[in-house]
Amino acid sequence: MRLLTLSALLVASVASADEGMWLFNDFPTAQAKQSVGVAPDAAWLDRVRLGSLRLANGCSASLVSADGLVMTNHHCIRGCLEDLSTPERDLLSTPFIAKDRAAEERCQKTEANQLVRITDVTERVLEATQGSSGADYQKKLKAEQARLESGCAQGDATKRCDVVTLFHGAKFHLYEYRRYQDVRLVFAPEFSMAAFGGDPDNFNFPRYGLDVAFLRLYVDGKPRPSPERLAWAKEPAKEKDPVFVSGHPGNTDRLLTVAQLEYQRDVALPYSIALLSELRGRLDEWLKAHPALGNVGRSRLRSVENSLKAQRGAQQALAEPSFFAKLVSAEVELKRKAPASTLAGWDSIAEATKALRGLALEYRLKERGDAFNSELFGHARALVRHRAEKAKPNAERLPEFTDARLPGLTQSLGSQVPVSKELEIATLSWSLQRLREALGADDAFVRSVLGSATPLEVATQLVEGTGLADAKRRLELLDEKAFDAATDPLLAFAKKVDADARAIRQKVEAQVDAPQKKGNELLAEARRTVLGPVGAPDATFTLRLSFGRVQGTATAPAMTTVEGLFTRATGKAPFALTEPWLKVKPSLKAAELKLPYNVSTTNDIIGGNSGSPLVNAKGDVVGLVFDGNLASLGGRYGYEPASNRAVAVHGELIQFALMRVYGAKHLAEELLRR
Amino acid sequence: MRLLTLSALLVASVASADEGMWLFNDFPTAQAKQSVGVAPDAAWLDRVRLGSLRLANGCSASLVSADGLVMTNHHCIRGCLEDLSTPERDLLSTPFIAKDRAAEERCQKTEANQLVRITDVTERVLEATQGSSGADYQKKLKAEQARLESGCAQGDATKRCDVVTLFHGAKFHLYEYRRYQDVRLVFAPEFSMAAFGGDPDNFNFPRYGLDVAFLRLYVDGKPRPSPERLAWAKEPAKEKDPVFVSGHPGNTDRLLTVAQLEYQRDVALPYSIALLSELRGRLDEWLKAHPALGNVGRSRLRSVENSLKAQRGAQQALAEPSFFAKLVSAEVELKRKAPASTLAGWDSIAEATKALRGLALEYRLKERGDAFNSELFGHARALVRHRAEKAKPNAERLPEFTDARLPGLTQSLGSQVPVSKELEIATLSWSLQRLREALGADDAFVRSVLGSATPLEVATQLVEGTGLADAKRRLELLDEKAFDAATDPLLAFAKKVDADARAIRQKVEAQVDAPQKKGNELLAEARRTVLGPVGAPDATFTLRLSFGRVQGTATAPAMTTVEGLFTRATGKAPFALTEPWLKVKPSLKAAELKLPYNVSTTNDIIGGNSGSPLVNAKGDVVGLVFDGNLASLGGRYGYEPASNRAVAVHGELIQFALMRVYGAKHLAEELLRR
């Protein structure tokens, strides 16, 4: 990590060689060549970019056959498996193997995006916002982004266009995606094999996760021809092999100032960890008490546990004095060398952070929804805001309600996924209780929300009374007249709390985002002056490429084997093997037992990279990233080459599982077809 | 707080005048006189000391009638109310009012201690440990403490003797208590009135808590004559009146170094907050799913919520940059002025803290029981250790197993309180799951604990299989032969994990406690040199006296009124009035509506002070402390005079409630009898 190694640049350029989630349109080919001996050229980069996909729910994926076959993680499509499950067919406990195209079933909530073009629009954005600051700057920025996005999408629902803010606002790129909304399930192993080792093994290595799933893109009811697909590698990846990860890291914070890092360590992370810890406990006990409703909540629990572990890892990294001291001394060093004109940047950010300390609680509760933990409330708020924003010119709307975002909104509102009213009442009443706890029973907002009722009464009345559990009804309410005529209690509730939510959002934009933005521009200038051309920008859930090698750590090997899986299995969840594995076991040959299972690599990744293809020097698939190790959780703030590792399912294991365990020879062959 | 105000001593001596949880045998009479205009003399101090009681479960109390009547908080005896409840008689939802002595019922778990003598034994301890360090020092210290305690208690089960470590080891006092184990319930209002406002109002002011209960001490089946009781004040406390709190503050950390404060802020508090948050969520959902078993868990939940709020408040105080910066600059200032010979003290503590960072997780899990969250396991461990320790000379035992502590151990093992096996399984399985999560599935200890079973299987097998839910059986097992012949699975389990638990405890004692102790001695010397005679020592759950005044804050009044209670009531929990209050309401006169309800004072208190009498200049009772406000939670690290407030039930309200609301005229009269 650059900040960590300022005072030892030479060492750093060796030690942190594999750091960086690089932009495809600004890839450091020479550095990759020097570090791993491979120099991807423009054609290589284009091919891998087009073979990579983003799943709208926060995952990565890749095109792996000419017939639109898509590879991603099982944990990325667990929601779909739950939605397609019925009392008679539980797709979490049994594998799903479509024997042919007709048997492939649509994942209602899944959308895949392919990045077809990147355009640098920095000049246009800077021009449009020049000379402005504060709320004015935000308004102009939003307006220009909306103009650029609408101009790109042109109302075409098969396109998605996003202006991506890079380097905290030093650069702006326009990303144009092709959207695929008909995505069908092709193959998924049992949940217990995908997540073998469960929460205890999550973020650990050695590891035995078969966290793989296959989908297929459809257009007009037919598989989408995909000549740009990534080929399956002929040679399996071995220790020390150079490997690349092409995917969508969600978020890193490697350019934060010390004031911001302190805020993360002392306020933001402790808040989230406490929140998630309580939610985890509640969901787990709730599931025990409502086994019949289990599927709806289990995926939620899993995602909460995953976030919790990730945030705890990040907090622990910052709590480590030596790690934090390095970040502090890097800042001291940078400030010492920075042009005097840029020093105000740190003050500006400190000011923003101080303001945030005062606003964050209310912001999280009212605007970010911590007080309204309910899917139905989310729909209600979306409808209320859609109604209000649609009346404004496109450029003046909240960014999530511009015309360019309408297709996404429509899809989300139209989702056929059933809602558990019991779980909705449980989480909504809990979050209302937290609201009262956090702001106090005498707070005016709390009183307007609860009146003299209890949180449980309010939640029950809203959830039982609303018609928003019906997707058709929600879509109808996009219409102005239907909305205005509606008497839904949840819509009324969402309307009632909206002014306060918008007010705190505006405060945060004016008092936090604006000075932060201003500060970041000055810091970017300082970094450019002191460090020369900047490296990779912080992750933004947009496509990045990282290079590295297959490699273990001081305490863990580079790979595990099929044999290791059988040794580790205890017969009890989360270490229990499923029937197909127990059945195949006696027939396995020595060579098969030695096959690699999971693999650890030095690639710099983070949450959002789940489902990314692991490719070799040729750009061919050798594995499927599904996790990082514990040390990778500190990767949010910095990359530590000695310990930070990506964790992938080995390509050979995927072939083995399809052919030998699950009887899906046709899929194994489709992958190998050239 | 002294540390905060080093560079502004004059201001400090005014501003923080009310700071300090003072020793009865080292009370700053002149300072009290200057600050609140009252100078308690030796007789005053002796009287108030003897009228004060400590409840063994972590609370304070007072003797308030010549017939052994004891006043404390409802929340201090909630366990007793649960134990005495039956399916037909729920003492949490209905008031308990003993109409005469015969109707008073024994609280099995409650023990009251009266502090009869304090002896300064510093010289003897220093002599015994002179020249030793590390594990050797700890051993000698323990041996001398055990000698002193045994010499004092002389095997008399009605005595309790503790060597109290003050100023982090700069002083040692021997506290001799008279123990009362026959403590009976006399009066308790409904839980919902005692805890009116529930968790939302906890640690808040304005407040309306009737958190009061009366008990009575019995000796040989008769009420204990108590001439030393505190008299009920003739004049009610008014705003600005000087008031004293005599009670047992549990724990403060006002002499921590910055290294230790960072550890608290970044590691210890986040760990506890996450743990308690999850436990809170689990208990709350568990209670919803097991309404029939509710009573067993509700008190547990309440205590978890209380700790959680307290720890969050402490963490938030340290996360506040200005608060922390003051602590840092106070240390810088102290180090600048400290004798060179004492500077090694800070290094020593930093070394201890660094070691603790590496050991804390294992220590908390294995030795402090975070991995074995179960009352039955607690009994099993106590029996296993009792067996092992009893074989050693008294002075070489773990301090909690010396002869002097045997009566307490016997009482705890003999407790008749029923255990909920369902809840035991829920909490034990959860904590075993956390153990595996924290140390990893491959850890040798984890494997020895779980084998190939799941946490739930292990917990179920242990809890279902053990006979330790039977108090009689537990007491039998104190006998060596009975223990050796036992085949109880939980005893076997406790035995199996004991070596690892002891090993990590020894590591902590050698690598953390010992260098910390050494460092603290040097720091104490530095403080004495720089600051002159030291102030009050950190709280140690021993009797202290704090002085202050009845006073509000910038945002809250000094008192609430009966009228305010009726205004605030919503009819819904936790703001619902009970029948007796609703019934009396129409008949109340204007003067009664104006009666004070709760009162806020500047006294410096902390958890453990619950149940402390609030007394006036004469030492007569004017109220009953039951809480602090939110700002008081930062009191763990420093006292902020502008915001830190103790919260008490006003004495007049107690009289009013007994006479007018609960028809307990005989008790009101017993209080007033002179």
The 10s digit of each residue's pLDDT in B520-552 is 888 988 887 887 656 788 999 999 999 999 999
pLDDT tens-digit readout, A25-79:
999 999 999 999 999 999 999 999 999 999 988 999 999 999 999 999 999 998 8
B437:A200 CB<8 A: yes
* Residues B163, B180: Cα–Cα separation, whole Å: 20
Residue A282 has its nearest CB partner, among B285, B312, B441, at: B285
User: How far A74 CA lies from chain B's nearest CA (Å)?
Assistant: 22
Confidence tier at A234 by pLDDT (50, 70, 90): very high
CA distance B426 to B429: 6
Tokens at residue B480, please?
């060596």
Sheet holding A559-561: strands in order across? A22-23, A544-549, A242-247, A613-615, A621-628, A646-650, A596-601, A559-561
In this predicted structure, the answer to whether residue A7 has a pLDDT above a threshold of 80 is no
Question: Do the chains contact at B441 and A280, CB–CB below 8 Å?
Answer: no
Task: Pick A286's closest partner by Cβ from B262, B273, B285.
Answer: B285
Cβ–Cβ below 8 Å for B273 and A278: no
For A609, what's the count of Cα atoms within 13 Å in the CB-facing half-sphere?
33
Side chain identity, residue B125:
V
More confident residue, A23 or B533: A23
Cβ-defined contact of B282 to A281 (cutoff 8 Å): yes
Task: Fill in the amino acid letter for A336.
Answer: R
- A426: nearest CA partner in chain B: B285
**What length does chain A have?**
674
Chain A nearest-CA residue for B452: A570
User: What are the strands, taking DSSP E only, across B159-198?
Assistant: 159-166, 171-180, 182-188
Cβ within 8 Å of A, B 20-49 = none
Among residues 421-460 of chain A, which lie with CB inside 8 Å of chain B? 426, 436-437, 440-442, 452-454, 457
CB–CB contact B441 A200 (8 Å): yes
Inter-chain residue contact A457 with B278, CB threshold 8 Å: no
C-alpha R_g of chain A: 25
Q: Are B302 and B75 in contact (CB under 8 A)?
A: yes
- Decide: B108 and B66 in contact? Cβ < 8 Å: no
**A273 close contact with B: CB closer than 8 A:** yes
- Does the beta carbon of B273 lie under 8 angstroms from any beta carbon of chain A? yes
Question: Which comes out higher in pLDDT, residue B131 or B601?
Answer: B601
Cα–Cα distance, B534 to B528 (Å, whole number) = 6
Cβ of B288 under 8 Å from any chain A Cβ? yes
Q: How far lies A140's CA from each of A125, A386, A653, B294, in Å? A: 9, 21, 51, 57
User: What value does the mean pLDDT take over residues B285-313?
Assistant: 86
Mean pLDDT (chain A) is 92
Q: Which two tokens stand for residue A284?
A: 């787990």
Testing the interface with A: which of B266, B327, B435 to mutate, by most A Cβ within 10 A?
B266
The Cα–Cα gap between B445 and B366 comes to 9
A447 pLDDT above the threshold of 70: yes
Report d(CA A182, CA B325) in Å as an integer. Answer: 56
Q: Which residues of A touch B278 (CB under 8 A)?
A: 277-278, 280-281
| Residue B453 near residue B432 (C-beta atoms within 8 A) | no
Round the average pLDDT of chain B to a whole number and report it. 92
**In this structure, what token pair is assigned to residue B177?**
């208590």
Decide which of A85 and A559 is more confident. A559
Tokens of A341: 């004109």
In which band, very low, low, confident or very high, does the pLDDT at A295 lie, cut at 50, 70 and 90?
low
Q: Is B20 left (phi over 0), alpha (psi -120 to 50) or beta?
A: left
Chain B residue with the nearest C-alpha to that of A447: B570
| Residues in chain A within 8 Å Cβ distance of B270 | 269-270, 273, 315, 319
Identify which of B265, B454, B575 has the shortest CB distance to residue A573.
B454
Determine the average pLDDT of the residues in B623-641.
91
Pick from A278, A456, A566, A629 the residue to mutate for testing the B interface (most B CBs within 10 Å).
Answer: A278
| Of A609, A627, A622, A614, the residue nearest A544 (C-alpha) | A609
Q: Is the pLDDT of residue B8 over 60?
A: no
User: What span, in angstroms and rounded, lies between the C-alpha atoms of B39 and B619?
Assistant: 11
- Interface with A, mutate which of B199, B204, B282 (most A CBs under 10 A): B282
**pLDDT at residue A358 greater than cutoff 70:** yes
DSSP secondary-structure letter at A600?
Answer: E
Nearest to B603 by CA among B9, B183, B17: B17
* Residue A504 in this model has a pLDDT that exceeds 70: yes
Of residues A457, A442, A278, the one with CA closest to residue B305: A278
B residues 326-385 lying closer than 8 A (beta carbon) to A: none
Average pLDDT over residues A215-241: 97
Using alpha carbons, list the distances in angstroms from residue A599 to A550, A608, A645, B546: 7, 18, 10, 62
Distance, in Å, from the CA atom of B139 to the CA atom of B133, rounded to the nearest integer, reads 9
Cβ-Cβ contacts under 8 Å for A660 (sequence gap 6 or more): A584, A588, A592
Q: Of B654, B655, B660, which Cα lies nearest the Cα of B583? A: B660
DSSP letter at B327?
A: H
Q: Report the greatest alpha carbon distance in chain B.
A: 73
A454 vs B contacts (CB less than 8 Å): 572-573
Report the helix count and the strand count for chain B, using DSSP H and E: 27, 19
Residue A532 has pLDDT above 70, yes or no: no
The residue with greater pLDDT, A225 or B416, is: A225
| pLDDT score at A661 | 98
What ipTM describes this predicted complex?
A: 0.81
A321 close contact with B: CB closer than 8 A: yes
Cβ–Cβ gap B282/A284 under 8 Å:
yes
B8 versus B439: the higher-pLDDT residue is B439
DSSP letter for each residue of B582-631: HHHGGG--HHHHTSEEEEEE-----TT-TTPEEE-TTS-EEEEEEEE-GG
Neighbours of B393 (CB within 10 A): 8
Distance CA(B181)–CA(B56), nearest Å, equals 10
The topology (CATH level 3) of A22-111+181-253+537-672 is: Thrombin, subunit H (2.40.10)
Is A1's pLDDT higher than 60? no
Q: What is the pLDDT of residues B210-235, one digit of tens each?
A: 999 999 999 999 999 999 999 999 99
Identify the pLDDT of residue B323. 85
Contacts of A318 in chain B (CB under 8 A): 266
Within a 13 Å sphere around the CA of A652, how many CA atoms are in the beta-carbon half? Answer: 18
Rounded CA-CA distance B290/B422 in Å is: 9
Collapsing DSSP to helix, strand or coil, A373 comes out as coil
Q: Which 243-262 residues of chain B touch chain A by CB within 8 A?
A: 262
Is the pLDDT score of A13 beyond 90? no
Q: Which member of A200, A274, A319 has the closest CB to residue B277?
A: A274
Is A615 in contact with A243 (CB distance < 8 Å)?
yes
Looking at CA atoms only, how far is residue B360 from chain A in angstroms?
A: 13
- Work out the minimum CA distance from A436 to partner chain B, whole angstroms: 6
DSSP A468: T
User: How far apart are the C-alpha atoms of A34 and A339, rounded to whole Å?
Assistant: 32
pLDDT of residue A5: 29
pLDDT at B459 over 70: yes
Instruction: Find all residues with CB under 8 Å of A180, minimum gap 6, and list them.
Output: A111, A112, A113, A114, A217, A218, A219, A224
Q: Which candidate from B278, B288, B573 shows the least CB-CB separation from A280?
A: B278
Contact A129, A77 (CB under 8 A): no
Q: How many CB atoms lie within 10 A of CB A99?
A: 10
The answer to whether residue A146 scores a pLDDT higher than 50 is yes
- Give percent helix, percent strand, percent coil of chain A, each to the nearest 5: 55, 15, 30
Residue with the bigger pLDDT between B86 and A16: it is B86
Q: Are A228 and A91 in contact (CB under 8 A)?
A: no
**Which residue in chain A is spatially nearest to B263 when comparing CA positions?**
A319
- Most confident range (mean pLDDT) of B315-329, B370-384, B412-426 is B370-384
Specify which residues A117 forms β-bridges with: A176
Closest residue by Cα to residue A300 from A82, A108, A471, A54? A82
Residue A634 · residue A4 · CB < 8 Å: no
pLDDT digits (tens, 9 = 90+) for A275-293: 999 999 999 999 999 988 7
| pLDDT band at residue A12 under the 50/70/90 scheme | very low
Q: Where are the domains of chain A?
A: 22-111+181-253+537-672
Q: Report the C-alpha gap between A35 and A619 in whole angstroms.
A: 17
CA distance B274 to chain A (A): 5
pLDDT given at position A17: 64
Residue A15 pLDDT exceeds 50: no
Q: How confident is the model at residue A131 (pLDDT cuts 50, 70, 90)?
A: confident
Q: Residue B403: enclosing H or E segment and its boundaries?
A: none
Strand partners, B629: none
Positive/negative CA dihedral, B557, B559, B564, B569: positive
Mean pLDDT of A186-202: 94
Residues of A within 8 A of B281 (CB-CB) are 277-282, 285
d(CA A237, CA B587): 86
Question: A374 falls in which pLDDT band (50, 70, 90)?
Answer: very high
Would you say how long chain B is, in residues?
Answer: 674
Sequential DSSP letters for A413-465: HT------HHHHHHHHHHHHHHHHHHH-TT-HHHHHHHTTS-HHHHHHHHHHH
Cβ contact A285–B280 (<8 Å): no
Measured between CA atoms, how close is A30 to chain B, in angstroms? 40
**Residue B293 confidence (pLDDT):** 78
What pLDDT sits at residue B12?
31
Select the more confidently predicted residue: A92 or A648.
A648
Q: Which SS3 state, helix, strand or coil, does residue A270 take? A: helix
Host H or E run for residue B300: helix B294-319
Tell me if A282 and B279 make a contact (CB, 8 A cut-off). no
H helix intervals, B154-293: 191-194, 198-201, 258-263, 269-289
